[in-house]
Structure 1
Amino acid sequence: MRLEKLLLMGNRLTGPFPRVLTSITSLRTLNLEGNRFSGPIPPEIGKLVHLEELFLSSNSFTAHLPEQLGQLKNLTNMWISDNEFTGQIPNFIGNLTKMVE
């Protein structure tokens, strides 16, 4: 299977970030916004090198944004608002040169 878009928004899903999703390396869009996911974003997210859109808003994710997000050089959109992330805006954000939103 070559899944490119996975949209799970607004389903009240709970628990940690589903690590199994990081093995779907063909993903271009991952939308988990509007659920009740919690805990940190796993470093394995860096495996999603084809990802263009990442929507994690309106969950309860915590901790720092993992450095591995900086490996997602194809990201054009990343929405992470309305979570409980800690720390400063990481420097790797500046390396995501395709980012528009």
Structure 2
Amino acid sequence: MQFVKNIQFTRLIKADGRLREFNFRKMITSQETLFSVDVVDDRGNRIMFRMNKQDGNWKIIPTPVPAWVQDQEQNMSEMINEELTAQTFTVY
């Protein structure tokens, strides 16, 4: 039996002139590790997309997302890396 630690976290990011809550959840598939991300737009619609690691950075998997989400790609990549680093050093 193998246990896999579930990683979920939320970060506030200023995007399109206001603070927005971005929710991240680590997903492990048979081929790669992905992060599922969701955020709510001004109308209350949930925008969902995935990010995978490419050339050392987390990138949005090509999906139609608003420009204000795409503009935060580098910021989200840094937050994912920070969370993964923090999880590595957590001792229970």
TM (norm. structure 2) is: 0.23
Larger strand proportion, structure 1 or 2?
A: 2
The structure having more radius of gyration, on CA atoms, is 2
